[in-house]
Amino acid sequence: MNKYHHESGASLLEMMAVILIIAITATISMPLLQEKIAAREIDSIARRFIAHAHFARQQALHLGESVRLAPRLDGQWDSGWTLTSGCMGKKIRTDCIAKVWFSQEETPPIFFKGAGKHFIDPHTGKASLLFNAAGAAKTAQGGFVANRLILGHKRVPSLERQLILGSGGRWRICDPSQDAKHCH
């Protein structure tokens, strides 16, 4: 009788082949996964910004006074943004108190391309959106605002989202890689 019996199982060569296939699959799919994660991050910030802009407009309508959506620090939207109301009239009021509703902290790796220079009031030189008591986005001199902010992502430089404010006060998010003709 044979003392050795044959056991079934995988040889070392077969196990190495399986590990090699898994490694190749992971290497191929990792950039796609990172791009999907980056797209979700940038879409999340875009939706949050627009939700805050809608809130600012609704507060202006509700309170009957101007509400400002402005960069948190030094005119840079990348530092986050705040919504404030009160004390924004042309005459000085001693009874008003500025209120801060939201403050969006820094959003790395998301950044505003061109530092969000598109929403700079040409009369004051300040970056912000001012919603008047009627809910319209206006400049300090009363002109309508219709423009865009462009979001980018540091890990995926080709990724971009445009937050577009139309003259009627309606916002939309545009992905130039999928809808280039409607983003311009």
| Topology annotation, domain 12-182 | minor pseudopilin epsh fold (3.55.40)
* Model confidence pLDDT, tens digit, residues 48-79: 999 989 998 898 888 888 888 888 776 677 77
pLDDT at 93: 57
Work out the pLDDT band at 129, boundaries 50, 70, 90: confident
pLDDT in tens, 91-101: 555 656 666 66
- The pLDDT of residue 104: 64
Please tell me which of 11-15, 16-20, 116-120, 137-141 the model is most confident about, judged by mean pLDDT.
16-20
The 3-state secondary structure of the chain reads CCCCCCCCCCCHHHHHHHHHHHHHHHHHHHHHHHHHHHHHHHHHHHHHHHHHHHHHHHHHHHHCCCEEEEEEECCEEEEEEEEEECCCCCCCCCCCCCEEEEECCCCCCEEEHHHHHHHECCCCCCECEEECCCCCEECCCCCECCEEEEEEECCCCCCEEEEEECCCCCEEEECCCCCHHHCC
